[in-house]
Amino acid sequence: MALLRPFDVAIETAENGEQAVAKVQDQAFDLVLMDVQMPVMDGLTATRAIRALDLPRLKGLPIIAMTANVLPDQVQKCLDAGMDDHLGKPIEPARLLALLSEWPGRTHEAA
């Protein structure tokens, strides 16, 4: 995530949705940028799995979809899976900065 380096944020990556779920279970995060199309477990399934976890610290965790699927029905699928917002690809640095500024102060429940 070279686009994130200038924002002075700690970055943790996962190769697939299964790894993403495991990392979220084991570590605290302020925000998750979830790619929708990943091997092993896609981002929609991973988000549903994260939302199903019974860990209080995860209840408000913002999850932002990253996908080239920007049609309204595709964005709605992301929201229906439990994602809080959508970041279209190719990623625009200004939009990414706006999300990084906006979401850590909000929670999933407040969305």
The per-residue pLDDT for range 88-101, each reduced to its tens digit, is 989 888 888 888 88
Let me know if residue 4 belongs to a domain.
no
Quick check: is 9 in a domain? no
CATH number of the domain to which 47 belongs: 3.40.50.2300
Our count of domains for the chain comes to: 1
Residue 43 placed within a domain: yes
Kindly state whether residue 53 falls inside one of the protein's structural domains: yes
DSSP string of 7-76?
Answer: GT------SSHHHHHHHHHHS--S-EEEESS-SSS-HHHHHHHHHHS--GGGTT--EEEEES--SHHHHH
pLDDT-above-70 percentage for the chain: 91
For residue 82, give its domain range.
15-105
Asked, for residue 86, whether it belongs to a domain, the answer is yes
Quick: pLDDT tens for 47-67: 999 999 999 989 889 999 998
